[in-house]
Homo-oligomer: A and B are copies of this chain.
Amino acid sequence: MPPEPRTAIATVCLSGTLDDKLAAAAAAGFDGVELFENDLLVSPSSPAEIRRRCADLGLSIDLYQPFRDFEAVPPDLHAANLRRARHKLDVMAALGADTVLVCSSVSPHAVDDDDLAAEQLHALAEVAAGRGMKVAYEALAWGRHVSGYEHAWRIVRRAAHPALGLCLDSFHILSKGHDPAPIRAIPGEKIFFLQLADAPALPMDVLPWSRHHRLFPGQGDFDLTAFTGHVLAAGYRGPLSLEVFNDVFRQADPRPAAVDAMRSLLTLKESLGLLDLPPAPAPAGHAFAEVVTDPGAGRVLATLGFARTGVHRTKPVELWEQGDARVVVNESGAAHGAVGAVALAVPDPVRAARRAEALLAPVLPRTRGPREADLAAVAAPDGTEVFLCGNDDWRGDFVPTGETADGAGIIGIDHVALTQPFDHFEAAASFYRAVFGLTPSPVTEFAAPYGLVRTRGVAAGNVRLTLDSTVVRRGEWAPAVPEPQHVAFACTDAVAAAEAMRALGAPLLDIPGNYYDDLEARLDLPPSRLAALRANSVLYDRDSHGEFLHFTTALAGARVFFEVVQRIGGYRGFGVVNAPVRMAAHRARRNAGLPLGTLA
């Protein structure tokens, strides 16, 4: 295995003051930072103090950036630029930083003259070299005359100064569709710095795309593994450094954001064969799901045909089962609310927990499982607990009740819907992908009654989670509680299940007739099928692979409800198109004075 590269993060990736950012970067395990100039300018600490602070935190300052609009200008401006540069090199000396990033000019004063650009960059490199410093020249995707890395490399080669090299930024190269393979032919020692950013494919100009929508590696549509592979193949031995401008990351708590950033780099290293981690656990299915709620959820499960099969030895916690669906109902407090835990059946929980820990997932103390259970638990970014179960020993916590029920057609857990705070949406998908090997589906967006909701699934085999981003609502318009989460159970005949559950008194949501009138207008469903859906308030969707029938209960607690789904053929989605209907029906029920899982 080649040597593991150092890691760095640009301070501009994170929210807060420079102190906040440095502390967060160090806590997440970064080796160094790119110091973004604005973070320095607003800091009450002197460069020398910042140098000491970084040293105390174990952080190097690997890059000072950005230095703008330098090359290829008339002589008087060149003199002013050199004067400006000397000031900045002084600051860098005090900081203990030895490399400055020079972005290709966007100035109207710059001329299209590679010889002049090379000459002036040579002059700057000479000044830097006199102080033992280096200049890393980068082609901005929107540079006035230099906007591609191959062009920047021609200028650097022409300047031919040992203190002048390239900075390569994956976004600037991949956003323009430039082929990164020729990077392999650049001598590694002339690549002074490597900045990594992913991004979703967006149909917009490259500048606002870059300034607002960058993501950490693995979160977007670029192939960062291939890109970084080319740079390492060229012989680059500097840090892998993240430079991600993202509107949400910029306002989110920098501590989890830095962890998310580092997790993306660790996963990138793994994909490059630079880091040896225990493999992702390939979960076989949902061992169980835990809902945390006020008393009531258990009664709702009974109306869905579940039996209360166990009672916790010491806590107000019950185990409910039907088929292979197992739900732990924790009535000990609704503070955390909603889905408290997802439990994945994995072949080797200890090994899976080792991977999770290496990927910075907090491993939770095993206060709740019996000592002998083959079990581990880690925390997701939003605090949801993820249990890793090697076998059924976790049942040892529960005293069997001997209770049984006839069931109502549920055969297992289909998926768990983990509504996310808006600023955990990207990190949540990255977490489940990196730690457990679940594959995220593309992000889609739907118009919910209260705003646009972004959603994606993460899945592997029979384990499926959905991650919806909640809408920010403010003031009197803010909801009393955040959007609910839910557990969706699988069945083989949704209509029959709905009928059976209604007979048991299940508080199922009523779906408006307008919805079925639209189905009738749009689709060629057999009339008897449509009538059965309508009569039972069962929702319908289809894709090119198959069909999806589903229905939901009223809220069975402040922030949780249950869903029953039937997949026909190879349907791959989660009925997202019907989510607005469900949300409005929950609201209608609340308006009718039936806030929780009032039984019929």
Contact = CB atoms under 8 A, between A and B. Distances in A.
Interface of A: 12, 15-17, 37-38, 40-47, 80, 83-84, 87-88, 91, 202-205, 207-208, 212, 247, 250-254, 421-423, 447, 449-452, 471-477, 510, 512-515, 517-518, 520-522, 524, 580-581, 583-585, 587-588
B581 A472 contact: no
12 contacts: A15-B477, A42-B580, A44-B588, A84-B521, A203-B204, A204-B204, A204-B205, A212-B452, A250-B452, A252-B473, A253-B477, A423-B474
B472 A585 contact: no
- Interface of chain A, helix or strand or loop or mixed? helix
Contact of A475 (B42, B203, B253, B473): B253
Contacts of A522: 84
Contact of A451 (B38, B46, B247): B247
Nearest to A89: B521
B44 A584 contact: yes
How many copies are assembled? 2
A15 B423 contact: no
B449 A17 contact: yes
Contacts of A204: 202-205, 208
Nearest to A37: B518
Contacts of A17: 449, 584, 587-588
Given A42-B585, A87-B521, A204-B204, 17 more contacts: A15-B449, A15-B451, A38-B447, A41-B581, A42-B512, A42-B580, A44-B588, A45-B512, A46-B514, A91-B517, A202-B208, A203-B208, A251-B451, A251-B473, A252-B474, A254-B477, A421-B474
A232 B325 CA distance: 63
Nearest to A515: B41
A207 to B, nearest CB: 8
A42 B581 contact: yes
A251 B445 CA distance: 14
B514 A251 contact: no
A218 to B, nearest CB: 23
Nearest to A588: B44
A509 to B, nearest CB: 10
Contacts of A80: 524
A521 B518 CA distance: 66
A458 to B, nearest CB: 22
A42 to B, nearest CB: 4
A520 B477 contact: no
A89 B83 CA distance: 73
A450 B251 contact: yes
A42 B515 contact: yes
A207 B204 CA distance: 11
A12 B208 CA distance: 27
A452 B512 CA distance: 42
B474 A514 contact: no
